[in-house]
Structure 1
Amino acid sequence: MLNGTMEHVVKQSVLYSYVLSQPFAFYVSAYPIHQNKQLLEADQLQYGEHGESVRVLQHKLNKLSYYDDEINGDFTVLTEHALKKFQADNNITINGQADIKTLTTIINKEKQKYMAQINEMSESIYPGMQSKDVKIAQHALQYFGYYEGEIDGIYGPLTKKALKIAEDKHGLELIDESEQVTESSLTALYEKDEENEQNIEQKAKQEVKEKTQETKKAEVTSANFSGAIDAAYAQIGTPYVWGGESPGGFDCSGFIQYIFQTQNIVMPRTVSDAWNFTQHVDSPSVGNLVFFETYKPGPSHMGIYIGDGKFIHAGESRGVEISKLSTSYWDQRYLGARRVK
């Protein structure tokens, strides 16, 4: 038989897994602290994105009176506008993006709103009591996932159980000898949890720092391949020749091999071998190779990424040319970007 605290821990774990698999209608009514975790793990949200994290963001902005449109998980100009208003009011760089600073500020503002409710408590609450003060306490306990019942304003077994779990987890005395709960004890619950919140925020910030370092490394890599890009530009207009690997005519892999040879980098001759020779990157940087599945399963065409969503390659119809990744033909066949080691 599980004791109360252990039973709650198990429920929390199961609930969190269930929440992530359920429609948003369930998720927005889940515990704010779980929503906070989802947002911080999202790291950054921006225009054009969609999904559960965007829905949670819209929900929180709505609760803070910045967003009053449909909560649909689509990051449109309306969500961007709401973020800009929030950023302006909170002295954050106004970019309309939900970066880590903006996300943590949103979370803290929501927490302050919950804490402000506690200050409205007019008296202590006690078992059997039914009042708006009990509702305030239930909302506070629900914020952390300790209260799992209906917000009904009744200090019954579920409210008492939630208080006991919170006491055990945080080492606090929320209930006095007469089983009453005061405003100051509930405020202490929020203050005690600050350390946990800060740990989550610091972890998220560290992840952002690591990603920034990876980006800088990619920028250095791009600079190192500037010579290859120049060499590729010089071959624009060269006709396509099956098996070609010289300025007289190229096929796609012959073109890549030739360009990198000008930089004293030895590349495999075939597309599939080039795929295996290179290293995966999440998104292309200048000088990376972009791969496509065209006439056969697996990587069968490639080019050199030159930035701004464009790449140079030896195409069958027009020879060496610049194409956009976003065109329907290439977008449907895109396999990913890889970096020359």
Structure 2
Amino acid sequence: MKKFALSLAVAGAIFAAPTVTDAMSMGDRGDDVRDLQESLADAGYNSSSNVDGVFGPLTLSAVQDYQSSNGISSPAGNFYGTAGPATQSSLGMDGSGSTSTASSGSSSSSSDSSSQVAGTSDVSNSSGIISTARSLTGSPYVWGGTSPSGFDCSGFIQYAFQQNGENVPRTVAEMWNAGTAVSNPQPGDLVFFETRTGPSHAGIYLGNNEFIHAGSSTGVTISNLSTNPYWSSTYIGARSM
């Protein structure tokens, strides 16, 4: 979908040529990211069509899958989705890429354990929220519900965020008004739908056009924004909380 085409706008500071000790995360771009994408593709964790030198949602998902499969990190890990020395070494990367550009406000890092890895805290918290949300799959839908015994759509979102130390408003309309509009949602952002007048349903974006939500006829489930005609036709936008 065009709504989810990754923006190629360049923002942030230019760092020195990376070595195997430089971590890469969401928003980074350059030849080092391209090397990472190619290494993931060679290992069977990334599509060869997603080798563009931009660390976006598809690359994040590929890194996370590789880390989980190879015992490097997990959704509960602080650096899940950040390609640091352990991930790069496991992929056999020699760190010989060229300069890269990181997202605004990012800092370079010398190891996966550094607290200065670009975007680490956001990625980590989003991973925790997503992990909590996934663990609730199958919970029934209950109007006004706010616990695993039964959720409505906003109660489900509020619960997943609260379990990870984040407070969000209670209703879909309030979430819509409180969030920051984003054109390309990232994992952990909220996606909104107009099933009645105005924002009336919402879910947590997982990446790859998938989101998890509490549907009135399904309970907590995962749906696809591009292949499900109902959700693609009622989608009205995304918000970062």
**C-alpha separation between the residues in 1 aligned to 2:156 and 2:105?**
27
Deviations 1:230-258 (A, max 9, x none): 11011000011111111110000000111
Deviation of 1:223 (Å): 2.8
Deviations 1:134-178 (A, max 9, x none): xxxxxxxxxxxxxxxxxxxxxxxxxxxxxxxxxxxxxxxxxxxxx
Deviation of 1:95 (Å): 7.2
Query: Cα distance 1:262–1:254, how it changes in 2: closer, same or farther (>3 A)?
Result: same
1:331 aligned to which of 232, 235, 239: 232
The question of 1:231 aligning with 2:141 is answered no
Task: Give TM-score scaled by structure 1 length.
Answer: 0.37
Do the aligned residues in 2 keep the contact of 1:257 with 1:266 (CA within 8 Å)? yes
Query: Cα distance 1:219–1:287, how it changes in 2: closer, same or farther (>3 A)?
Result: farther
Identity of aligned residues (%): 48
Deviation of 1:270 (Å): 0.4
Deviation of 1:264 (Å): 1.7
1:321 paired residue number: 221
1:307 aligned to which of 207, 215, 225: 207
Q: How does 1:255-274 map to 2 (within 5 A)?
A: 255-274=156-175
Deviation of 1:224 (Å): 2.3
Do the aligned residues in 2 keep the contact of 1:222 with 1:285 (CA within 8 Å)? no
The aligned amino acid for 1:305 is Y
**C-alpha separation between the residues in 2 aligned to 1:289 and 1:43?**
22
Do the aligned residues in 1 keep the contact of 2:125 with 2:164 (CA within 8 Å)? no
1:279 aligned to which of 169, 180, 183: 180
3-state secondary structure, aligned to 1:213 = coil
**C-alpha separation between the residues in 2 aligned to 1:239 and 1:314?**
8
Moved over 3 A (4+): 94-99, 214-220
1:179 paired residue number: none
Do the aligned residues in 2 keep the contact of 1:257 with 1:268 (CA within 8 Å)? yes
2:58 paired residue number: none
More strand by share: 2
- Unaligned stretches of 5+ residues in structure 1: 1-41, 45-93, 100-207
**C-alpha separation between the residues in 2 aligned to 1:306 and 1:98?**
21
Do the aligned residues in 2 keep the contact of 1:253 with 1:269 (CA within 8 Å)? yes
**C-alpha separation between the residues in 1 aligned to 2:213 and 2:50?**
35
The aligned amino acid for 2:192 is F
Q: How does 1:1-341 map to 2 (within 5 A)?
A: 213=103, 221-294=122-195, 296-326=196-226, 327-340=228-241
Which protein has greater RCO, CA pairs closer than 8 Å, 6+ apart?
2
3-state secondary structure, aligned to 1:225 = helix
Query: Cα distance 1:227–1:332, how it changes in 2: closer, same or farther (>3 A)?
Result: same
Q: Which structure's CA Rg is the greater one? A: 1
Deviation of 1:266 (Å): 1.4
3-state secondary structure, aligned to 2:143 = coil
Deviations 1:93-147 (A, max 9, x none): x979999xxxxxxxxxxxxxxxxxxxxxxxxxxxxxxxxxxxxxxxxxxxxxxxx
Do the aligned residues in 2 keep the contact of 1:286 with 1:307 (CA within 8 Å)? yes
Do the aligned residues in 1 keep the contact of 2:193 with 2:231 (CA within 8 Å)? yes
Deviation of 1:229 (Å): 0.8
Do the aligned residues in 1 keep the contact of 2:206 with 2:212 (CA within 8 Å)? yes
Do the aligned residues in 2 keep the contact of 1:305 with 1:311 (CA within 8 Å)? yes
- Indicate the RMSD between aligned Cα atoms, in angstroms: 2.9
Query: Cα distance 1:260–1:297, how it changes in 2: closer, same or farther (>3 A)?
Result: same
3-state secondary structure, aligned to 2:212 = strand
More helix by share: 1
What is the aligned length? Answer: 139
The aligned amino acid for 2:221 is E
